[in-house]
Amino acid sequence: MTATTDGTGAHPPRAAEAGHSTIAEPLPAAAGAAKTHEAAERATARAVEHLLSRQDEQGWWKGDLETNVTMDAEDLLLRQFLGIRDEETTRRAARWIRSQQRPDGTWATFHGGPAELSATVEAYVALRLAGDGPDAPHMAAASAWVRGQGGIAATRVFTRIWLALFGWWSWDDLPELPPEIIYLPKWFPLNIYTFGCWARQTIVPLTIVAAHRPVRPAPFVLDELHTDPRRPNPPRPLAPAASWDGFFQRLDKALHLYRRLPVGALRRSAVNSAARWIIERQENDGCWGGIQPPAVYSIIALHLLGYDLDHPVLRAGLESLDRFAVPRENGEARMIEACQSPVWDTCLAAVALVDAGVAPDHPALVKAADWMLDEQVLRSGDWTVRRPELPPGGWAFEFHNDNYPDIDDTAEVILALRRIAHPDRERIGTAIRRAARWTLGMQSKNGAWGAFDADNTSKFPNRLPFCDFGEVVDPPSADVTAHVVEMLSVLGKEHDPRTRRGITWLLAEQEPSGAWFGRWGVNYLYGTGSVVPALVAAGLPVAHPAIRRAVDWLFSVQNPDGGWGEDLRSYRDPEWIGRGASTASQTAWALMALLAAGERESEAVARGVAWLADTQREDGSWDEPYFTGTGFPWDFSINYHLYRQVFPLTALGRYLHGEPFAADRAREPRES
């Protein structure tokens, strides 16, 4: 049996109940080992062919980045607000939204997850825009469930902001976030740079929207989504004044009072400064930060300031949003991506292909290297607020995002470039040295690395009543730190004091179970699958106690079918840690850790490899409906459609060909 993932709230089986083994099984018979090896070879060959076929002619790979229907609903609401919603776009978006509705009338934010209130409300409103009547069975089921959960009043702030734009919610009943925040000095606890880059890009335009409090005529009422339409926002009790929650609740009340003060000149100046901040950060493709939410709110904010839809800034912004639309159902439906991941997908694909035995000078890999080299960010961005003297050199996640390169992509691109036999070795070496210098300069004070900024660890932003939509700061994480440590070790810097500080931090972060928490992937399987190979690359012996504890934990959570899986509910419920239906990507992460730890001959690895081979499709791909990536743990989940291809191929390649950088270490000089 596997863990329940049907949204019923049932707890997963415990290891003993599921038949999990807590120790490695004996070495299989020679015939069985040979059969596993042959199956792995066949699966690898098919996967290589499939992955090569998916490369764009420019050299990059990109899988779909699937999140949830709030992206699609908010796209329609934006078009309604701007007066540009058309019937064809609405029809295709509504078809996708309907296809994601569950039998009970609700929507979830990840496959098999529990019903989610805000997602259900936003999807319902979008379908009302598309013409679905409130009495239709699928709509009545949704609205009844919403009322049972407390109605619109219980939704997150972002949902109520969208409703306020049409008068379905009162601006007075939303948390206040004044545009004057743009003037707070960088040392102040709640200046915009205390927020993670994704949050600050969203919050700055929203301060302009909140300052204007616009209301467009609503095309219908939403009384059916209130528990009591005559009293849509029942009063809520204040937290104790001595608590942080109580302090920030009272601060919000003070900010509401501040709004009524005669500070017009200061407010106008702050709004104009925020607008300049937004425009300065628009990318060459018209988007902001390469992600959809900041683009949506930036367009609304600038439109409220008088920018018409034909203005170059808004025209480019709207065109960029169209590029987030992915056709579904033979073009009859459209899904909106929250973001696009070509740099991340390309470096992971390149690593997977070389690990699988593709020649390092294969034309596809050289073309991928050329594309990645052209994507290196060579200009300064927001990260210079904390590192003003640090020269640039990182990579971003998306096609266009020069303001926000990230440490994780940079580390993985270096690992990919190191593997490729590019004819211009000097160009490769220059790019790697520049990127490694930037990465080392982004180390936080505790010795670890976050994703986008150094020392972005304030506890205050997450406590603001406005910030109930997910993680809004960017503290160091085990997975990012592990990728950096692995990269630095491959470059010969495993004894560098900065690398050793990262290793010390990782060892201190290990859970009592032996696992590591996964910030950007689900969850402890991702964290452990990232950290173990990094520690081994850095020189820790496979007999090290931390490595052995991790191995024992991975043995203990292997599913009876031979795979591994972990449900997103592990972020909230410890009972789900390491539990869930087997998936291709998570099985690969577990195998990557076990192989790095010297467990190639173990029964657990043989069963995991066999599971990958047995579940591969005829075309060389794997199916994976489960979400194994995260934007914010639990609050925003991601199904990276290329994860199911690149990580299994990496694991199979390492099973067949061994530790990936051993030959490099013996052959190439260390980076200085």
- As annotated, the active-site residues are 408
Pairing relation of β-strands 65-66 and 629-632? Answer: unpaired
Pairing relation of β-strands 325-328 and 636-640? Answer: unpaired
Considering only CA atoms, which of 132, 133, 119 is closest in space to residue 162?
Answer: 119
Separation of first and last alpha carbons in the chain: 52
Encoding tokens for residue 112? Answer: 């098999």
Between CA 234 and CA 150 the distance in angstroms is: 10
For the purposes of burial, counting CB atoms within 10 Å of the CB of 18, is it exposed (0-12), middle (13-18) or buried (19 or more)? middle
**Per-residue DSSP letter, 576:** G
Between CA 595 and CA 591 the distance in angstroms is: 6
Between CA 345 and CA 60 the distance in angstroms is: 8
Between CA 139 and CA 125 the distance in angstroms is: 10
604 with 598: CB under 8 angstroms? Answer: no
301 with 206: CB under 8 angstroms? Answer: yes
Distances, alpha carbon 13 to alpha carbons 208, 252, 516, 522, in Å: 49, 44, 21, 18
Torsion of CA 541, 542, 548, 554, to 10 degrees: 140
Considering only CA atoms, which of 524, 437, 540, 525 is closest in space to residue 484?
Answer: 437
Between CA 98 and CA 115 the distance in angstroms is: 15
Q: Can you tell me whether residue 232 is helix, strand or coil?
A: coil
**Per-residue DSSP letter, 641:** T
Q: Can you tell me whether residue 200 is helix, strand or coil?
A: helix
**Per-residue DSSP letter, 456:** B
Task: Note the Cα 540 to chain centre separation in Å.
Answer: 29
Between CA 137 and CA 135 the distance in angstroms is: 6
Between CA 355 and CA 661 the distance in angstroms is: 9
